Chains A and B, each alone.
Chain A
Amino acid sequence: MISFFRKHRQTISKTIITLLLIGISVQVGLRLKEIYKKNLPLIRKNNIWEKRSESIRIVFGSYLDPQFLAILKKIPANISFQCRFKKKWDFNILLKYWYYPRLIGSDNRVICYFDHALKKLLPEYKVIYQDGKGNVITIKKAFLKSILAHGAEKKKWLFLKGFGK
C-alpha cells in the first residue's frame, strides 16, 4: 500500500488538493451568501443598534438581583429602555451589559431593543405598559416563560427581530 502511495503520490496529491479546493470553495461561497443576506444589510442601516425608534420601559422584576433592581428604581421616569435577549439565563446579565454604561453614565439613558411582535404579546399577559413617556412596564415571570416556550425557531426570530431586522 505504501509503495502504491509512493508511486502515485503526484496524482494523489493533485486529487486531494483539487477536492479540498472544491470543498472549501463551496464553504466560502455559502459564507459570502450568508454575509450578503444577513450582515451587509445591518451595516447599510448604519448603526441600527443605537437608532431603534421604539422604546419602552420595562422592569423584569423577578429576574433581577436586588442590587440591580435598586439601581433601576432610581432611574428618572422619562428614560427610555430597549432590550434584546436570547435565552432565559442571559436575561440578567444582558440587562446589565446593555444598560451598564448608560445606566450610570452621564446621560442616564438606557436603550433597550424591542420589536412589534413582542409588543403584541404584552397585553395577553396583563403586562402594565405604555410607550416611552414615563410609564413603567412590569412584565411577569409567566410572560417570560411564554416567550421562551415558543420554540427554537421562534426564539431565534425574536432574537433577530430584537436585533433590529
Chain B
Amino acid sequence: MTLIIVISAVLVPLVFGLSVIFLFFNTRIFNSRLMLLSTAYLIGIGLITYLLFLTFLIPLSNPLLWLMITVIFTSFISIYLNKDLWLDIFSKKLSMLNFKGNVLFYFALILTFFQLCYVYIRALSMPPSSWDGFAMWSFKAKILFYNGVYAIPFSSLNHLDYPLFNSFAQLWTYLLLGEANEILGKIVFPMMYLSLLALIYSHLRKYLTSLTSIIITLLLAIIRPLSTHATLAYADLSLTVFFSAAIFFLFDFIKNRDNKSLFLSAVFMGLCAWTKNEGIAFNITTGIIFCIYLLFENGISILGKVKKYLIYIGLSLSISLPWLIFSRLQNVNVDLFTEKTMTFSHILKGLNRIPDILFQFGKAMISPSFAMIWPFFFLVHIVFLKKILKTDLKYVSLMIVLNLMIFISIYIITPLDVNWHLKTSVNRVLLQLTPIAIFMASISFSRYFNDIALDDKKD
C-alpha cells in the first residue's frame, strides 16, 4: 500500500503537470516524450506545492482534499478539451528519447541507469541527515504536517525567510501517506534529479548528436554535488533544476521565438523564487538579460517586445509574489540584508574579501567534484569568444557571469565569517549554475568541431 501511495506521489504531479501543459501550452515545443514528461513533473510538483501553500494561507481545513479536487478538476477539463494531445503521449508521434543508438550510446544509457539507481537508493535508505536538509526544510515540513499552520514553535530556529518549496514538496508526500515519513518524503528529490537529466538531454539533443548529448548528461549526472544533493533534501537541487529548466526554455524562445517556451520559462523562474532566496536574484538577472536581448533583437516590434517582457515578468511574479508578501507580513528577518550589512562602510570593508572569495570559487571550480566542467566552460570562452559573441549563446554566458557576480557580492556583504560561509556554500551556489554552464560550453565546443551546426540537427 505504501508503495502505491509513493507512486501516486509521483504520478499525481505528473498528470497535473501534463494537464496544465496541454491546457496552456502545446506539445510543439517538446522534441521527445522524455522532455514532455520531465517538464510536466516539474510543473506539476511546483504548482502542487504552490497550491498547498495557498490552502495553508487561507487556511482550509483539509488541504489535501482541496488540492485533489483542483487536480482532478483540471485533469478532466484538460482531457475533455485536449483528448488528442493526451493520446499523443502514447502514440509514436513523439519519440521517447529521440535518439539513434549505437553501442556507446547504449553503454552510456546503462551507466546513467546505474547512476540513477545510486541516487534513488541513497535517497530512500535514510532520512535527512545534513544540517540544511533537516533544520531548514524537513523540520518545517513536519511542523506543517502536525500543526497544520506555518508557525515555528522554537525561537532559536532561524532562516524563516527561506521560501518553502522544499518543505511543501515533502509535505505533499506526508499528506498522501498520512504520516511524516522522513525517508519516503524525500522521493521528490531523486525525481527532480531525473527530470533535470531528462531536460538537459532533450535540450542538448536539439543541437548535438544523441551520443554527445547522453555523454554530457552522464557527465553532469555523476558530479558529486549534484548526485549528493539529490539525496539530502537541500533546496539547492530544486533551485538548480528550476533555474536550468527556465534557462533552457528561454534559450529555446531566443532560438525559435515560440511564445510557449517563453511562458514555460517564466513559470520556472517564478518557481525559482518560491524555492530559495537566490531564486529572486536569478529572476532579476534573467529579467536584465531578457531585456538586453529584446533591446538588440530586430525581428520583433516595440509593442511586441514590451508585451513579451511584461508577460514574462508578470507570470514569474504571479508565482513568487504570494510567498514574498506573506514572508514580509510575518516580519521575518532576511539574514543577509540587514541594516548592518547594507551600509557603505560594511560594503567597502567587504571588498577586501574579494581575493579570498575568488580563490575559493577557483578552488571549487577546479576540484574533481565538478568533473572539470568549469575549466571546460572557461576554456571554451577563451578559445571561441568571438564565435560565441556572434551567436545567441552569448546570452547564456552573460547570465552565468552575472549570477557569479551576484554570488560574489553576497559574500562581500555577508555578516557571517566569510571563510566559513564560503566553505559551507560555495559548492552549492556553483551547482546552481553548472547545468547551464555545461549546456552552453558543450554546444559551443561541438559547434566549433563542426560536429553539428547550431541550426542543423544531425542523426
User: Ordered nearest first, which 6 A-B pairs have the shortest CB separation?
Assistant: A39-B125, A31-B118, A93-B135, A42-B125, A97-B134, A35-B121
Distance, CA A116 to CA B219, complexed state (A):
42
Distance, CA A21 to CA B360, complexed state (A):
29
Cross-chain contact of B449 among A13, A17, A40, A96 (Cβ < 8 A) = A13
Segment of B109-117, B235-243, B317-325, B347-355 in the binding face: B109-117
Cross-chain contact of A27 among B135, B182, B222 (Cβ < 8 A) = B222
Asked if B281 is an interface residue, CB under 8 A from chain A, the answer is no
CB distance from A100 to the nearest CB of B (A): 5
Asked if A125 is an interface residue, CB under 8 A from chain B, the answer is no
Asked if B192 is an interface residue, CB under 8 A from chain A, the answer is no
In the complex, 20 of the A-B residue pairs with CB atoms within 8 angstroms, ordered by the A residue number, are: A9-B449, A9-B451, A24-B111, A28-B111, A28-B114, A28-B222, A31-B118, A31-B227, A39-B121, A39-B122, A39-B125, A42-B126, A49-B127, A65-B156, A67-B153, A87-B131, A93-B135, A97-B135, A100-B142, A101-B146
Chain A residues, Cβ within 8 Å of B61: none
CB distance from B234 to the nearest CB of A (A): 15
Distance, CA A68 to CA B139, complexed state (A):
15
Query: Are A96 and B111 in contact, with the CB atoms below 8 A?
Result: no
Query: Are A104 and B215 in contact, with the CB atoms below 8 A?
Result: no
Chain B residues, Cβ within 8 Å of A20: 215, 219
| Most B Cβ at <10 Å: residue of A21, A31, A68, A105 | A31
Query: Are B211 and A9 in contact, with the CB atoms below 8 A?
Result: no
Q: Return the CB mask of B28-64 against A: 1 if under 8 Å, else 0.
A: 0000000000000000000000000000000000000
Q: Tell me which residues from 87 to 137 in chain B have a Cβ below 8 Å from any Cβ of chain A.
A: 104, 107-108, 111, 114-115, 117-118, 121-122, 124-127, 129, 131, 134-135
CB distance from B368 to the nearest CB of A (A): 10
Distance, CA A97 to CA B129, complexed state (A):
11
Query: Are A90 and B222 in contact, with the CB atoms below 8 A?
Result: no
Cross-chain contact of B154 among A40, A67, A94 (Cβ < 8 A) = A67
Asked if A5 is an interface residue, CB under 8 A from chain B, the answer is yes
CB distance from A29 to the nearest CB of B (A): 8
Asked if B232 is an interface residue, CB under 8 A from chain A, the answer is no
Asked if B450 is an interface residue, CB under 8 A from chain A, the answer is yes
Asked if A78 is an interface residue, CB under 8 A from chain B, the answer is no
